[in-house]
A and B are shown apart, each in its own frame.
Chain A
Amino acid sequence: MKLLWLVLLSFFIMGCEDMIELEKQSYVIAVGIDETEQEGIFLFTFQIANPEVGSIASSVGSEQEASETVTIRGTDIMTATTTANAFVTKQIALDQTRVIIASESLARSDQFIRIIQSAGRTPQIRRSVQLIISQEDAATFIKNNQPTLEQRPHKYYQYMLTRAKETGIIPDADLHRFFQITEGDADLFLAMYATTNTDPKIDRGSEDNFYAGQIPKSGGNPTQFMGSAVFKEGIMIDRLTGEETRIANILDKTMEMSELLTTYPDPLAPKYRVAADYIQSQEPIIDIQYDAERNHATINVLVQFEIEILAIPSLVNYSQSEADKATLEKSIEDYNEAITKELIKKTQESYRAQPFYWSLYARKHFKDIPAFEQADWNKNIYPNADIHVSYQLKKMQFGNLLDDTNLNEVRD
């Protein structure tokens, strides 16, 4: 009888077949994908985190690297992990992967969609993995990316991307969204754009009118996340600056963007700029009037926003004079309208599709999907649509100073 129980109980050990000790796994945080000269073969780079660094368990004085980076050739991510085991001691796990980094040259080829498709099929890779396009090779990017303050790579990517997304200079670009938009075939997808190559451009006007790598800076990690890569039908066609990305985020209601600091030209003292906190508390109102007979749409965009003025280096007294305040308000609205119109014009004429997810609004005018696909929002309706953009400043605040220092009095 006792023997029988032993046999019965041993059944439950079967559940241990899949058991892997935590110590026996290597957690990949970032996967880099590059082209090789051979079609169908890719170069994979795995950045593997060292869980001991930064945890309480790490003994004092042990000098271990926070992560290890390996590069290997292969046809897809999963088999490449097995090959990597030739020199990585532990089983490579992709559960904790935060980002997939692809080089720009790969993203611009038709190979990109194939390799990303296989990532979607792998159950280990989550749909919340973020997609980053690097200007240089992904392997170089991962190698050069050496953050000093946030050494643990998973925390680095998590915080870096969350903060940059909050400010709107990079889009939210997870795999889920990539598949949704690419498969939906009615919009453009924006992926994050980053680089470790620095090529500073000084005279770009405002603080976010840069492509990644162009920010003039000294010190810190060479990696810059700025702007986005534009994907049409799974192939990268162009890149947007930080400012254009921010506009695209404002116009897209599925993107979450709360506030960001930006500067505007000072209307009364053209040499200076006014620093302001741009607050987007409401979704933009996008009204699409669709004429089924002509297959033509008129799109009215109304963006309501708030501004908190942070600094007025020209010391013009905007807060006290109603007339000057009105001028400033008007000038901010006009400025935003102008850059938005420019971006829309670019999308209509050169991309002939839009990255704002506006197909959502267009869908309402159709009764079923075959009718919607027949009308072809992406190719026929949007490029020929009449689009009117207007910004409306709802509220303007002036921080906690009632009045700026009077320059003349100081100089006396």
Chain B
Amino acid sequence: MKVDKKLAAFEMFSLTMILIALKLTDTTPSLFAQKAQNAFWYIPLLAFIVILPSLLILLYLLKHYQAKHLINLLEILLGNKLGKAIGFIFLLLNITFISLDSRNYVEQIRNLYFLNSSTLIIFVLFTIICIFGAIRGIEVIGYTAKIFFPFIFISFFLLAFLIYEELVWDRIFPIFGSGLPLIVEESLLKGSIYSDFILLTMGYSAFRKSHDFNTGGLVGLLFAIGVITFFFLIYAVVFDYNSIEKISFPFHEITQYVNLGDFFTNIETFFMVFWLLATFIRFILLLYLLTWLFGAIFNIKHFELLILPMGYLVMVVGLVPDNSVVNELIYRNQLLNLMTPIIMGFPLVLLLIHLFKRKKVEN
């Protein structure tokens, strides 16, 4: 019996959900709230609308050229050298981004559960686990995501259910938060929170059909945005605008706040288990894709061997910022703002080249 080891649409759905929707648990909400105040909850939605055309173009081109992955597509359209050069810029941006992101999660683990341990030790352990996971390959990551995805999201919704009585819906007013111009500006600049999805196109050839990738990915994205917006809305109505700006991890703040009746009072560890699981799957996937990107650019076929040095690199870059506040409010914010025009722009350039090429062929 021949088993098809390639991934299907549901794996793609789970991977996208974990990759994107997990942002609701980190500092992204407080980052948005700094500028937009209580209107921050619909920024993910607006940002998605801003970034959606670029994603669709990318998916269309991948399918049209039957490309193996993102770098392959760049090479087909831009030629070998230019394609690799653009890919290299993309790689540098992603290494920085993932490093800061992983630092963010390490700080969360440390601040909430391991106050006495040093960031370094937690980072080392975190990286080791991610490396071990990533070495198993994309198929295993996909299956793991598929198996655990329901549990993770059930735990999230249990949390939403438990916090329900604390919600005061009137807090969404004034509806435009700090003012409409600021909201629009923030939405335009923060489209890059979906940049992970572009990185996911590296795994294009690991799926059975391009149809699997497209449907799973788009449906996953839509659900992820729904979940993110829903949770951001919960944060907005639980904390109100003056407090949300000051809280670094609203998700964990909520888990500490809820009780399950009079008997089960401090239950945040229950939610921590699922959150930690999701975090590991997310970074294992990111590390794998990052190494794949590197391998594709430098024509290294057995790129799995590079996962260890790549994990080390991510860890070292992640350790650069002095503390989590600097990491969050300065580096990550600027990087997000910087990445958005690039992510929005380059699929458009690819599309123009594609149209130009097609015209040439017709002539």
Residues of A within 8 A of B (CB): 11-12, 14-15, 17-18, 95-96, 123-124, 126-128, 158, 162, 176, 179-180, 183-185, 253-254, 256, 360-361, 363-364, 366-372
Contact = CB atoms under 8 A, between A and B. Distances in A.
A348 to B, nearest CB: 22
Given A15-B125, A17-B121, A180 B239 contact: yes
A183 B239 CA distance: 11
Given A127-B256, A176-B257, A368-B176, A14 B239 contact: no
Contact of B256 (A126, A256, A372): A126
Contacts of B243: 176, 179-180, 183
Given A17-B116, A18-B117, A128 B259 contact: yes
Interface string B46-78: 000000000000000000000000000000000
Contact of B170 (A180, A364, A369): A364
B241 interface: yes
Contacts of A369: 37-38, 174, 177-179, 241
B44 to A, nearest CB: 19
A366 B113 contact: no
Interface hub of A124, A183, A372 (most chain B Cβ within 10 A): A183
Q: Could you tell me the dominant secondary structure of chain B's interface residues?
A: helix
Nearest to B172: A363
B178 A123 contact: no
A126 B255 CA distance: 10
Nearest to A359: B170
Nearest to B171: A360
B324 to A, nearest CB: 12
B174 A17 contact: no
A124 B113 CA distance: 10
B144 interface: no
Given A128-B259, A367-B174, 18 more contacts: A18-B114, A18-B117, A95-B266, A126-B256, A128-B256, A180-B239, A180-B242, A184-B242, A363-B173, A364-B174, A366-B173, A368-B39, A368-B174, A368-B176, A368-B177, A369-B38, A369-B177, A370-B178
A367 B113 CA distance: 40
A278 B128 CA distance: 61
Interface in B113-132: 113-117, 121, 124-125, 128
Contacts of B117: 14, 17-18
B174 A371 contact: yes
B116 A254 contact: no
A372 B253 CA distance: 27
A17 B174 CA distance: 47
Contacts of B334: none
A14 B120 CA distance: 11
A77 to B, nearest CB: 15
A253 B171 CA distance: 13
26 contacts: A11-B124, A12-B125, A15-B114, A17-B117, A17-B121, A18-B115, A96-B266, A126-B266, A128-B256, A128-B259, A158-B262, A162-B262, A176-B243, A183-B246, A184-B242, A185-B242, A254-B168, A360-B171, A363-B174, A364-B173, A368-B177, A368-B179, A368-B180, A369-B38, A369-B177, A370-B178
Contacts of A368: 39, 174, 176-180
B240 interface: yes
A18 B265 CA distance: 22
Contacts of B168: 253-254, 360
Given A126-B256, A127-B257, A369-B37, A361 B170 contact: yes
A14 B257 CA distance: 29
A254 B170 CA distance: 10
B118 to A, nearest CB: 8
Given A17-B116, A363-B174, A367-B174, A123 B125 contact: no
Contacts of A363: 170-171, 173-174
A123 B115 contact: yes
Given A123-B111, A162-B262, A367 B242 contact: no
Nearest to A184: B242
A214 B121 CA distance: 57
Contacts of B259: 128
B322 interface: no
B165 interface: yes
Nearest to A20: B116
B179 A370 contact: yes
Contact of A367 (B112, B115, B175): B175
Nearest to A372: B174
Contact of B257 (A126, A254, A360, A371): A126
B159 to A, nearest CB: 15
A360 B180 contact: no
3 smallest beta-carbon distances between A and B, as pairs: A183-B242, A360-B170, A363-B173
Contacts of B38: 369
Nearest to A11: B128
Interface string B331-353: 00000000000000000000000
A81 B257 CA distance: 23
B112 A123 contact: yes
Nearest to B37: A369
A12 to B, nearest CB: 8
A409 to B, nearest CB: 48
B138 to A, nearest CB: 24
Contacts of B240: 180, 183-184
Nearest to A253: B168
Contacts of B124: 11, 14
Interface string B139-173: 00000000000000000000000000100101101
A15 B125 CA distance: 8
Interface string B237-275: 001111100100000010011010010011000000000
A185 B241 CA distance: 11
A126 B171 CA distance: 22
Nearest to A179: B243
A256 B166 CA distance: 10
A11 B174 CA distance: 51
Contacts of B178: 368-370
Nearest to A360: B170
Contacts of A183: 240, 242-243, 246
A162 B176 CA distance: 37
Interface string B101-116: 0000000000111111
A256 B165 contact: yes
B354 to A, nearest CB: 42
